[in-house]
């Protein structure tokens, strides 16, 4: 196994191009998820630094909005180039801060680069339209205008992906940003900010503030922050919305999910591929810590028993352990609190007879330097009551629930029975059925016969407890502009 430096970089606040190693919010002791040991002290922004960052972003906005669209395009493309050039470092830092298996962590850089380059291409294509057939023969046209300073708050899973999804369209549209990354994942955000400066993006256009609650509250409430975009959970989102409502401030929310993966009998020839995808995307990838992961597997009765057996076998043979080991397929959860929370949901499901436990169900204790890590066995329940808590609520950990259904109508009813609406998955060889079911699913993105990581070219976002607003495609760009109408009298 190749030895990789496991030392984190110095986490920093980046305000107006200046890098700070001290913040008025104190420090956060960063715990390595793989070992449970402290590995860094992260400086936290308080209200003071947050106000400074917003002031810098406001000042930079007057320059950035007047920067030609082609120059914004070129600068974002340069940033995308630098993300690729530093992919190995992003890969390393993702494993250090989040416990993502090193063999998989490079995907974050590739996806972050994709989103940054995609929106670089939009920078010189923003246009309005002429309104025809006006009642008084006026010439009326629309102009897309940037909001100004955008507050960006992201969570700890896939931080570089979230940065690409939010920062790139905001900058392409002419906005400036103040970013509050999660204190658990400050290293990737620090490197991102440093590369933005290296790319030539003017100081103050991108400001980065690792911070706790005070920093986020100050950012949201600040009068010069014109819009907020947030990735995280519904509980925090409600608090953010309450603050935004107080100031009549728009927001985009990308929240959680409880995505259904519907497998019909006619998919039997692809059963092993389907089972591998179902397990890999629910309890293996990021240890189940993903918003759109298909954590509910709905299987038609004709192949139900065979699918349960296949899923059990695959899940039971996943390698849990050292994220630096190339053979590891399941790394740690983000921290010990996450293990406690996930275990609590599993225990309640067992106590309430919500389903039949067929794999996992408990934390995993490893030896040596990994003894204090936050490891959880990939857990699978079969014969699950669709209305049980484990089936209705997001676990955000390596837990998959399996339901049996008879008819297409029953599958749709089960799939639509939660308050989430982010993703959906369908496996069938009947193309008419595929599109019929896709139309019936109350969710923001439906994947038929396979899936890939969230593509930048398509709008992504949900409804209900999964939030609202879009990221990706032209709709993701439109979230960062408002339309001004201009009328010229005849």
Active-site residue list: 254, 291
Question: What is the CA 141 to chain-centroid distance, rounded?
Answer: 36
Q: What is d(CA 402, CA 355) in angstroms, rounded to the nearest whole number?
A: 9
Name the one residue in this structure whose structure tokens are 């955008």. 150
Q: What is d(CA 138, CA 453) in angstroms, rounded to the nearest whole number?
A: 47
Q: What is d(CA 336, CA 338) in angstroms, rounded to the nearest whole number?
A: 5
Q: What are phi and psi of 26, to 5 degrees?
A: 90, -150
Name the one residue in this structure whose structure tokens are 């692809």. 270
Q: What is d(CA 144, CA 148) in angstroms, rounded to the nearest whole number?
A: 12
Q: What is d(CA 253, CA 77) in angstroms, rounded to the nearest whole number?
A: 26
Burial code of 32-67, b = ≥16 C-beta within 10 A, e = fewer? bbbbbeebbebbbbbbebbebbbbbbbebbeebeeb
DSSP 8-class letter at 460: B
- What is the CB neighbour count within 10 angstroms for residue 344? 10
Structure token digits, residue 167? 């920062």
- SS3 for 456? coil
Residue 397: closest CA among 320, 490, 487, 308: 320
Q: What is d(CA 340, CA 36) in angstroms, rounded to the nearest whole number?
A: 14
Q: What is the DSSP string of 64-111?
A: HTTS-HHHHHHHHHHHHHHHHHTHHHHHHHHHHHH---HHHHHHHHHH
Biggest distance spanned by C-alpha atoms of the chain: 81
């Amino acid at each position: 196994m190749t030895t990789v430096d496991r030392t984190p970089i110095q986490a920093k606040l980046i305000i107006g191009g200046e890098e700070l190693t001290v913040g008025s919010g104190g420090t956060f002791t960063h715990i390595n998820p793989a070992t449970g040991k402290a590995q860094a002290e992260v400086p936290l922004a308080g209200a003071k630094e947050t106000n400074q960052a917003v002031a810098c972003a406001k000042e930079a906005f007057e320059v950035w909005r007047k920067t030609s669209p082609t120059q914004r395009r070129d600068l974002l493309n340069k940033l995308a180039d630098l993300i690729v050039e530093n992919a190995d470092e992003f890969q390393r830092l993702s494993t250090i801060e989040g416990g993502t298996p090193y063999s998989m962590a490079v995907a974050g850089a590739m996806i972050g680069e994709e989103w940054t380059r995609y929106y670089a291409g939009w920078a010189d294509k923003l246009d309005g339209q002429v309104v025809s057939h006006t009642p008084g023969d006026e010439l009326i046209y629309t102009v897309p205008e940037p909001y100004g300073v955008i507050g960006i708050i992201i969570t700890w899973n896939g931080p570089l992906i979230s940065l690409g999804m939010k920062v790139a369209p905001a900058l392409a549209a002419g906005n400036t940003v103040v970013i509050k990354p999660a204190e658990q994942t400050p290293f990737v955000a620090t490197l991102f900010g440093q590369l933005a400066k290296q790319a030539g993006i003017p100081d103050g256009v991108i400001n980065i503030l690792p911070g706790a609650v005070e920093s986020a509250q100050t950012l949201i409430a600040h009068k010069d922050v014109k819009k907020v975009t947030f990735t995280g959970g519904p509980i925090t989102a409600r608090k953010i919305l309450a603050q935004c409502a107080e100031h009549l401030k728009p927001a985009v929310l990308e929240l959680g999910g409880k995505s259904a993966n519907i497998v019909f009998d006619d998919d039997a020839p692809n059963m092993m591929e389907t089972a591998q995808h179902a397990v890999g995307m629910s309890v293996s990838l990021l240890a189940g810590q993903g918003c759109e992961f298909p954590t509910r597997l709905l299987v038609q009765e004709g192949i139900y028993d065979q699918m349960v057996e296949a899923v059990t076998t695959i899940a039971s043979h996943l390698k849990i352990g050292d994220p630096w080991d190339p053979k590891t397929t399941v790394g740690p959860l983000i921290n010990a609190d996450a293990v406690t929370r996930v275990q609590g949901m599993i225990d309640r499901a067992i106590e309430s007879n919500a389903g039949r436990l067929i794999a996992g169900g408990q934390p995993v204790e490893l030896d040596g330097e990994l003894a204090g890590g936050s490891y959880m066995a990939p857990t699978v329940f079969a014969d699950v009551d669709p209305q049980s808590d484990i089936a209705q609520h997001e676990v955000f950990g390596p837990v998959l629930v399996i339901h049996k259904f008879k008819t297409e109508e029953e599958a749709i009813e089960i799939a639509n029975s939660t308050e989430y609406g982010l993703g959906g998955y369908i496996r069938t060889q009947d193309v008419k059925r595929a599109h019929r079911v896709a139309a019936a699913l109350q969710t923001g993105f439906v994947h038929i016969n396979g899936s890939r990581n969230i593509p930048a070219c398509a709008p992504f976002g949900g409804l209900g407890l999964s939030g609202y607003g879009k990221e990706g495609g032209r709709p993701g760009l439109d979230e960062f502009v408002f339309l001004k109408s201009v009328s010229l009298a005849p």
